[in-house]
Structures are given as C-alpha cells and as structure tokens.
C-alpha cells in the first residue's frame, strides 16, 4: 500500500521527486499511470463537501440528515454527522450576497489567470477565482485585448474581476463596464501591486500612500456597480 502524498511532502521531497517516486512505486505494482492512486480520508471529503452550496448543506442540517460518501477509487466509505456538516458550513464565506464554498482563493496572476486557468482552479477546489488585473484606462480607450480579459465562462463562478487604476473617474467607468458587459460576481480593486509601471500610474500599492485617493477610488467603484466590491491590499507600502 502506497503512502499518502502528504507523507512525501513531510519528508521534504520536491513535487518533481514526489511524482518520480509515485511513478516508480506504481511501476513496481505493475501500473503505468497514477490515475488509480487514492489517498482519500475523511478530511478529503470534508473539503469536497465544502463545495456543495451553503443552501443545500443548511437544508440537510434542518432535515436532520447526515451524509454518506464512498470513494470511487478505493471504495472506502465515510459517514458525516450533523456536527460534521455544521463544521463544513463554517468553512463557507459570504461576500455580500455571493456564497464562497471555502476560504481558498486563487490569487490573480498577470498573464496566467485567464478563464481556462480559473476554471481549472475551481475544479481543484478553489472557493473563489480572480482575474489578472485589468486596466481602467485601457477599458476607457476601448482596448480590445483588455476587453477580452474581462471574459468569463459559466464553469468558473464565483469569479472576481480585478481592476487597477489611480483615477476615480475612470475606475468608476471601468466598474460600470464590468457590471454591464460581464457576469462577474465580485469586483476587486488592486491596491497591492508593487510593479514600477503600476506605481507610476499612481495605482496598486501606490494608493497605500494616499488614503484619501484610495477611499475616493473605492467609493467610485461601489457607486457604479451592484456587485460586491473587495480590495487586494498589503500591510503597507514599505517596511516603515
């Protein structure tokens, strides 16, 4: 019987070494792929249950039901009591009217966080996914590539689209654009990016040096959308 992946991690193996070890162990057992391998546990299914909608779990609790699940790979069976389901419910997060299945958020990555990547993150258990940062000025000037960055797909909800900019007027316009042209669930404001070109635009973490402007931008975004608004923020602009 093979060890759980977490054991290899505790032993300090790199991801590449873990894959290599698992593959070799599989060969010894007469297998040539890893699909059959299962390291399930009750906690594994707790995480899976946390992806069920909050409403469904609340109904199960109200009806006095528990849950019984069976692993499709190793066929182990697990029973979940009312207390287990309440613990699962505690893992849900609400942002405005949007229910987030768990507290795992796929952070925005420039050049990477497109709809395909975000959909994959949801499939692997993320409760919320966020787009790469979208320029308010580029939306103002109707840049086609930036407009395409606002695209979402049905399988990635809940999804947050992140704006960056240093002008309350164009940030308000951008929020209105996302509200009328996309079905995003949340609009996020970037006040954390330290990249030089973003700082030169008085955006990102630059705003942490100007509280009044940061507040004006947040107000402009909130006033131009009916979606919940969040802010990505750092502890401060610098070590001071």
**Active site (annotated) includes residue 38:** no
Identify whether the C-beta of residue 145 lies closer than 8 Å to the C-beta of residue 122: no
Strands of 142-201, DSSP E: 159-164, 186-191
Rounded to an integer, what distance in angstroms lies between the CA atom of residue 64 and that of residue 74?
A: 28
What 8-state DSSP symbol labels residue 34? S
Residues in the chain: 240
- Which one of 40, 121, 184, 193 is the catalytic residue? 193
> For residue 7, is it left (φ>0), alpha (ψ between -120 and 50) or beta?
alpha
Collapse the DSSP code of 132 into the 3-class scheme (helix H, G, I; strand E, B; otherwise coil) and give the result. coil
Residue 234, both tokens:
């750092």
The tokens for 160 are 């947050």
Instruction: Judge residue 177's burial from the number of C-beta atoms within 10 Å of its C-beta, 0-12 exposed, 13-18 middle, 19 or more buried.
Output: buried
Name the DSSP class of 223: H
Catalytic annotation, residues? 193
């Amino acid at each position: 019987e093979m060890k759980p992946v977490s054991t290899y991690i505790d032993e300090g193996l790199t991801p590449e070494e873990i894959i290599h070890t698992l593959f070799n162990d599989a060969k010894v057992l007469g297998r040539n792929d890893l699909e059959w391998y299962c390291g399930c546990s009750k906690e594994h299914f707790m995480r899976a249950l946390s992806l069920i909608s909050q409403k469904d779990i609340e109904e199960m609790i109200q009806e006095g039901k528990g849950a019984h699940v069976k692993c499709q790979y190793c066929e182990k069976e697990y029973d979940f009591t009312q207390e287990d389901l309440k613990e699962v419910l505690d893992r849900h997060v609400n942002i405005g009217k949007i229910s987030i299945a768990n507290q795992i958020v796929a952070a925005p990555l420039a050049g990477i966080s497109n709809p395909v990547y975000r959909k994959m993150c949801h499939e692997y258990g993320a409760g919320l996914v966020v787009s790469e940062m979208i320029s308010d000025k580029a939306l103002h000037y109707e840049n086609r590539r930036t407009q395409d960055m606002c695209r979402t797909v049905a399988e990635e909800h809940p999804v947050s689209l992140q704006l960056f900019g240093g002008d309350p007027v164009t940030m308000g316009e951008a929020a209105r654009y996302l509200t009328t042209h996309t079905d995003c669930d949340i609009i996020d404001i970037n006040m954390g990016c330290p990249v030089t070109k973003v700082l030169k635009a008085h955006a990102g973490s630059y705003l942490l040096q100007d509280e009044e402007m940061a507040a004006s931008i947040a107000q402009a975004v909130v006033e131009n959308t009916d979606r919940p608004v969040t802010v990505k923020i750092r502890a401060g602009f610098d070590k001071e």
